[in-house]
Amino acid sequence: MLNCREMSELGSEIIEGHLGFRTRLAVLMHLRMCSRCTLYIKQLKMTSQVLQQVPFTDETVDSQAILKRLHEPDQ
């Protein structure tokens, strides 16, 4: 069984879908009983989606726009 610390360590692999079947199952089981990690993964997912949408250039990293997007409701 995974604990919350292991969940946070797995975070990026979870949202990128790089987990094996057993780990994914353990993650899903943890998420079912832990609202904190559910929220954590959800925010992580949102962040990665936002980062993919924002066109970064070398000079302009508009963190304000990212933060604004993060606070928009789920679509």
**Interface with Zn ion includes 51 (CB under 5 A)?**
no
Pick between residue 14 and residue 37 the one whose CB is nearest to Zn ion.
37
Find, among 41, 62, 38, the residue nearest to 51 by Cα. Answer: 62
**Interface with Zn ion includes 31 (CB under 5 A)?**
no
| 11-19, 27-35, 48-56, 61-69 -> range binding Zn ion (CB under 5 A) | 27-35
Cβ–Cβ < 8 Å for 44, 12 = yes
Cβ–Cβ < 8 Å for 52, 66 = no
CA distance 44 to 46: 5
CB 61 → Zn ion: shortest distance, Å? 31
CB 51 → Zn ion: shortest distance, Å? 23
